[in-house]
């Protein structure tokens, strides 16, 4: 009774998920390269090698597709906030904070993340809710994780901090600002070596601890 030419519901689901992923990957590349306005659903369909009808089956319009891509990118931040939370138990403040700062800058200062940031800033006027959402779920969430951890370290007597949120933001920008700010304006160059990034991290940690260590 089995008809080999037919697909099972499970196969169908796998194929649908694959197509959805192909659409999102194609759209991400186009949005990052050509901006929101410079990207059409026709191009997305062509690049993903699916029909336009299939694109619209998965995403009702371009804005919904854009939103799904941004939320997907924000979700990937999750892992790093766990690392930040675990640091609250450190037995070696300076060394562990240095290591954390190096991982932080290496995670954030990547071509894909920087392009996404540039795209979101460009579209913040058109899509304020999407930009706000991303901010809260990605950079804002990481800074909140640092604030929680710094507060715990202050509770353990290792740091002296009145305003954990302010101190966490200072920490984040001491580490990230120099390469990130340049990358926003110098879209075509960039490329910091890991050694460059480690130096920004180390210098940021040094300044932070000078101000906040007990």
Q: State the Cα torsion 126-132-134-135 to the nearest 10°.
A: 130
Q: Please list every residue from 165 through 194 that binds a copy of itself, using CB under 8 A.
A: 166, 169-170, 172-174, 177-178, 181-182, 184-188
Element (H, E) at 106: helix 93-108
Measured over the CA atoms of residue 207, residue 209, residue 194 and residue 141, the dihedral's sign is negative
104 binds a copy of itself (CB under 8 A): no
# of chain residues touching a copy of itself (CB under 8 A) = 41
Of 145, 120, 144, 143, the C-alpha closest to 133 is: 120
Binding mask 115-154 for a copy of itself (x = CB under 8 A): ---x-xxxxxx--x--xx-xx---x---------------
Query: Exposed, middle or buried, 106 (CB in 10 Å: 0-12/13-18/19+)?
Result: middle
| Nearer to a copy of itself among residue 56 and residue 135 (C-beta) | 135
| Nearer to a copy of itself among residue 22 and residue 71 (C-beta) | 71
**Residues at the interface with a copy of itself (CB under 8 A):** 33, 35, 37-38, 118, 120-125, 128, 131-132, 134-135, 139, 163, 166, 169-170, 172-174, 177-178, 181-182, 184-188, 203-204, 206-208, 210-212
């Amino acid at each position: 009774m089995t008809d080999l030419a037919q697909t099972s519901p499970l196969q169908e689901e796998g194929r649908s998920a694959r197509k959805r992923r192909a659409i999102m990957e194609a759209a991400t590349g186009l949005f990052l390269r050509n901006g929101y306005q410079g990207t059409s659903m026709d191009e997305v369909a062509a690049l993903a090698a699916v029909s336009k009808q299939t694109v619209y089956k998965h995403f009702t319009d371009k804005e919904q597709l854009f939103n799904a891509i941004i939320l997907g990118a924000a979700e990937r931040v999750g892992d790093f906030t766990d690392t930040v939370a675990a640091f609250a138990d450190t037995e070696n403040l300076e060394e562990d904070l240095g290591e954390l700062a190096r991982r932080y800058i290496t995670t954030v200062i990547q071509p894909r993340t920087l392009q996404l940031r540039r795209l979101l800033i460009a579209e913040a006027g058109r899509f304020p809710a999407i930009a706000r959402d991303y901010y809260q779920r990605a950079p804002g969430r990481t800074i909140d994780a640092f604030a929680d951890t710094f507060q715990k370290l202050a509770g353990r007597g290792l740091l002296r901090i009145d305003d954990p949120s302010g101190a966490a933001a200072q920490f984040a920008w001491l580490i990230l600002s120099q390469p990130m700010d340049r990358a926003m304006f110098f879209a075509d160059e960039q490329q910091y070596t890991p050694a460059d990034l480690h130096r920004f991290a180390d210098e940021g940690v040094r300044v932070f601890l000078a101000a906040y260590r007990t």
